[in-house]
Amino acid sequence: MIIAIDGTVASGKSTAARNIAGRLGFLHINTGLMYRAVAAFARRNGIPTADAHRVAACAKELRIDLARTSAGQRVYVDGTDMTDEATAPDIGPDVSNVADNEAVRAVLVREQRRMGLEAGDAVLEGRDIGSVVFPDAEVKFFVTADARERARRRLEDDRKRNPDITLDDVLEAIIARDERDRSRPVGALKRMPGAIDVDTTHNTPEQTLEQMLAAIGRMRMGRSS
């Protein structure tokens, strides 16, 4: 079974995807981390992410692996752990450039499909999972939360690495990222017909998990009847 989770930045979709995968024994594929890894690799190698041709050329040569560890999902590029660089608080604009790059998207989408099909049972999270990567996914979720609440959650993480960052800085970046994610010509974030809406604003991660597991259970029952 393929479970597609799309949603806005910092909406809690990664936590939900990780928890669902853990509970059901499915593979968890954090596709955002793959776009981030390409951005981190470009930065490390002095390739401007706005240079679409050079970034696409290097994305075609890279090997990107995701691994589950006790510290959460990690991403490796050609065997090197790039997770910290890929999640640096200031990487947002570079990741958006990479996500806008249609040639990079084609490479990563192909890889995501391969990983999902090989696993058979997988939870994929991102922006275009239900629309592009697995349009036939058995279950599709659309996860959102109030922008201020998302900024508050992201601030806790970002402060660990940049103590001077403010809530307003994070909120501004989140609003800009939402806009860019929704208006991308290819792979834009959109709610697919039939997707199950999940608003995590007032939820604990456990409440979100139970709500989503209940919906998956209903879909499975529907499939077998």
Question: Which residues lie near ligand DC (CB under 6 A)?
Answer: 9, 31-32, 35-36, 95-96, 99, 126-128, 177, 181, 187
Cα of 143 vs its chain's centroid, Å: 11
Tokens 């990563």, located at residue: 108
Q: What token pair was written down for 31?
A: 């596709």
If the CB atoms of residues 40 and 209 are measured against ligand DC, the closer one turns out to be 40
Identify which of 163, 179, 154, 195 has the alpha carbon closest to the alpha carbon of residue 15.
154
Least distance to ligand DC, CB of residue 23, Å: 21
The least distance separating ligand DC from the CB of residue 99, rounded to whole angstroms, comes to 4
| Pick 133 or 209: Cβ nearer ligand DC | 133
Q: Of 18 and 221, which has the nearer Cβ to ligand DC?
A: 18
* Cβ closest to ligand DC, residue 18 vs residue 127: 127
Please give the structure tokens belonging to residue 188: 């834009």
CB of 224 to ligand DC, least distance (A): 29
Give min distance, CB of 217 to ligand DC, in A. 25
Residue among 122, 151, 119 nearest 137 (CA): 122
Burial of 213 (0-12, 13-18, 19+ CB in 10 A): middle
CB of 98 vs ligand DC, minimal distance in Å: 7
Output the CA–CA distances (angstroms, integers) from residue 26 to 21, 142, 179, in the order listed. Answer: 4, 19, 31
Q: Which residue's CB is nearer to ligand DC, number 116 or number 187?
A: 187
